[in-house]
Amino acid sequence: MTDDERISKKVTDTLVKHESDLADKTSIVSDFTTVLDSIGESGLPVSGRINQFKARDLIKMNSQLKMPLKVNIARPTYHSYPNIFGLYGLLKHSGCGSFKMKDGKNHIILDQDRTLLWKNRTETEKYLSLFMTWIKGSTGKTEKCLSSKPVSELWVTLFMNIGEGEYKIKRDSTRENAMLRNPGMDILSLMGMFGLLDIHQDEPELVETWIPVSIAKTQLGEELMAAVCRD
């Protein structure tokens, strides 16, 4: 059995255990579906230089997510919404999205066959597919829209730094802000959407970046990351 097969089996066993309340504990399947629906059959224009969603689409998508980020940013960019930045990485690495010139503008276009195949899966199968895409895409061998380090390594490092239990974050702490850049807000957001972390927000001040108020690991997170870590 390969490492990927071993991990997939352990993750599947964990998901089956939590299947009855997976939709309540997580938002990743719902949020990924929102991104797919936002792109639609006709595709969505992206910024020409970096092929990212435009600001107006970021704001709209965020508002439609199950747990949208509370942001108060005068001129948002794709870095202002780390949740959508993380979903964008999953979209590209899943093979569901690619880029194509259309009417003289670059668009992100859905692979209709792959998208239909994904939508026809069960909720647990959808979660497993996205989770394995995330794990396999975060190895340092691919572009950094997912992670330049393995997720399991980032998870261990994070809780070595903050300890167990709920961790309250001080926005003006240089040490904490530097610490949260590893794993980074996009990875923290994905951990929240996958249900690995409970992430709490507050009404934001006018700031340049989103920072949560507190984070805490969940039972699902403990079990899934134990499945991912190598024996």
Q: Is the pLDDT of residue 201 over 90?
A: no
Which residue type occupies 150?
Answer: P
pLDDT of residue 80: 84
pLDDT of residue 142: 38
Residue 25 per-residue DSSP state: H
When pLDDT is cut at 50, 70 and 90, the band that residue 152 belongs to is confident
Q: Is the pLDDT of residue 147 over 60?
A: no
Q: Is the pLDDT of residue 179 over 80?
A: no
Three-state secondary structure call for residue 104: coil
Cα separation, 218 vs 228, whole angstroms: 15
pLDDT of residue 153: 82
- In this predicted model, what pLDDT tens digit does every residue of 39-57 receive, in sequence order? 998 899 888 677 888 888 9
Cα separation, 113 vs 75, whole angstroms: 36
pLDDT of residue 26: 96
pLDDT of residue 175: 59
Which stretches of 95-150 are DSSP H helices? 112-119, 123-137
User: If you average pLDDT over residues 150-173, what whole number do you get?
Assistant: 76
**Mean pLDDT over the full length of the chain:** 83
User: If you average pLDDT over residues 125-145, what whole number do you get?
Assistant: 72
Higher pLDDT, 77 or 115: 115
Whole-model pTM: value is 0.88
When pLDDT is cut at 50, 70 and 90, the band that residue 113 belongs to is very high
Residue 177 per-residue DSSP state: H
Nearest to 99 by CA among 46, 137, 171, 40: 46
Cα separation, 74 vs 71, whole angstroms: 10
- In this predicted model, what pLDDT tens digit does every residue of 79-93 receive, in sequence order? 788 899 899 989 988
State how far the alpha carbon of 111 is from the alpha carbons of 117, 120, 197, 230, in Å: 10, 14, 31, 33
As given in the structure block, the two tokens for residue 116 are: 């239909």
pLDDT of residue 159: 79
Main-chain phi, psi angles of 94, to 5 degrees = -75, -15
pLDDT of residue 98: 86
Q: Is the pLDDT of residue 186 over 70?
A: yes
Q: Is the pLDDT of residue 144 over 50?
A: no
User: If you average pLDDT over residues 201-226, what whole number do you get?
Assistant: 81
As given in the structure block, the two tokens for residue 201 are: 């927000």
